[in-house]
Amino acid sequence: MTASKLDQLREMTTVVADTGDIEAVRRLKPVDCTTNPTLILKAVETPAYAHLVDEAISWGKKAGGGEKAVHAVCDRLAVTFGAELTKIVPGRVSTEVDADLSFDTQATIDKARTIIAAYQERDIERDRILIKIASTWEGIQAAKVLQAEGIDCNLTLLFALPQAVACADAKAFLISPFVGRILDWHVKAGGGPYTAETDPGVVSVKGIYAYYKAFGIKTVVMGASFRNTGEIEALAGCDRLTIGPGLLDELAAATGDLPRKLSPASSPHVASPGGGRIVLDEKAFRFAMNEDAMGTEKLAEGIRGFVKDLRGLRKLVAARLG
């Protein structure tokens, strides 16, 4: 019997579940799991997890009231869901720093340390957790400090090579270059039609992967934000891929050969001017991002979206505490 495409993918790529749905993770058995404010908000609004929310609210009422308590309860919810996920997946769980701290290096560092301490209070060590940070210049500099302290980071909302270059320089443990949102931007701009191989998001991740492998960069490349299984199949062999439950189910139901498309030994090119390693200071980074309309717009849009859902979560928590 032919193995499913999901099983074939697992032979060459570490499969990560992009969800806060604990039951979906239990069913799909990924190695790692990632969450974000949008996914946590959805999980909190699901009746099945009411007991986890009730515990956090009860804890928050004992901690006092006000905005500080609301923020503390939101942190606790993120860690509570993360702790539940660590009981299911054998690998890492990514927990995101508040998106409204994306342009504050020190506040990001402080929040990351708080998250790690909260996990350690539950006897979950830092080697099970990735701190998820937006790939702004400030976020990347925070990751540089945290990595030096032994706190591994997942740099998210990554749309452009300059972001990937800066993350490598910061020695980030992992980056999450987005695929589907890049496709969305190009389609909205009138591009296409695209095949899986010409999909601009797929092309972007392949370029970043090739750059990393060409220079022996150890930062893990984890493709994210998929719109269809074709994008996933076109990146088979990438270090890791984080995939939502719906697409994981589609891959589990699909059969047929799934050829490997990416491997360290066969990276097709070095995606940099002149073929050398790119050097970026803050000014060069900001200018390079300014030159990339898609990268700049999608990064800003992504932060706004996460902040909106974070505020929604805080509003829900405030009402419950109130």
- Average pLDDT (202-209) is 96
Domains and CATH numbers, the chain: 5-321 (3.20.20.70)
| Pair 196, 175: CB distance under 8 Å | no
Q: Is the pLDDT of residue 40 over 70?
A: yes
Q: Is the pLDDT of residue 208 over 60?
A: yes
DSSP labels for 245-284?
Answer: HHHHHHHHH--S-------GGG-----SGGGSPP---HHH
DSSP labels for 59-113?
Answer: HHHHH--HHHHHHHHHHHHHHHHHHHHHTT-SS-EEEEPPGGGTT-HHHHHHHHH
Report pLDDT digits (tens) over 211-262. Answer: 999 999 999 999 999 999 999 999 999 999 999 999 999 999 999 999 999 9
Residue 132 annotated in active site:
yes
Supply 53's token pair.
């929310």
pLDDT recorded at residue 86? 96
Distance CA 77, CA 81 (A): 6
Candidates 19, 37, 18; CA nearest to 313 is 37
pLDDT recorded at residue 272? 58
pLDDT recorded at residue 281? 98
Looking up tokens 């060409």 gives: 214
Q: Is the pLDDT of residue 36 over 90?
A: no
pLDDT recorded at residue 15? 97
Task: Give 31's pLDDT tier (boundaries 50, 70, 90).
Answer: very high
| Pair 129, 93: CB distance under 8 Å | yes
Give the range with max mean pLDDT: 1-10, 127-136, 261-270: 127-136
| Pair 63, 69: CB distance under 8 Å | yes
Lowest mean pLDDT among 61-70, 117-126, 241-250: 61-70
300 contacts: CB under 8 Å, gap ≥ 6: none
Supply 229's token pair.
């299984």
pLDDT recorded at residue 168? 98
- Average pLDDT (117-122) is 98
- Would strands 129-134 and 174-177 be described as parallel, antiparallel, or unpaired? unpaired
Report pLDDT digits (tens) over 259-312. Answer: 999 998 876 555 555 678 999 999 999 999 999 999 999 999 999 999 999 999
Each residue of 133-148: b (16+ CB within 10 Å) or e? bbbbbbbbbbbbbbbe
Each residue of 65-77: b (16+ CB within 10 Å) or e? eeeebbbbbbbbb
What is the enclosing helix (H) or strand (E) of 152? none
| Pair 49, 42: CB distance under 8 Å | no
pLDDT recorded at residue 270? 56
- Would strands 93-96 and 129-134 be described as parallel, antiparallel, or unpaired? parallel
Q: Is the pLDDT of residue 95 over 60?
A: yes
Candidates 194, 214, 195; CA nearest to 262 is 214
Task: Give 20's pLDDT tier (boundaries 50, 70, 90).
Answer: confident
Check whether the bond before 193 is cis (ω within 30° of 0).
Answer: yes
pLDDT recorded at residue 85? 94
Q: Is the pLDDT of residue 2 over 90?
A: no
Cα angle 87, 125, 118 (rounded to 5 degrees) comes to 90
Among 5, 111, 132, 261, the active-site one is 132
pLDDT recorded at residue 322? 83
pLDDT recorded at residue 135? 98
Residues above pLDDT 70, as percent of the chain: 97
H helix and E strand count, the chain = 14, 8
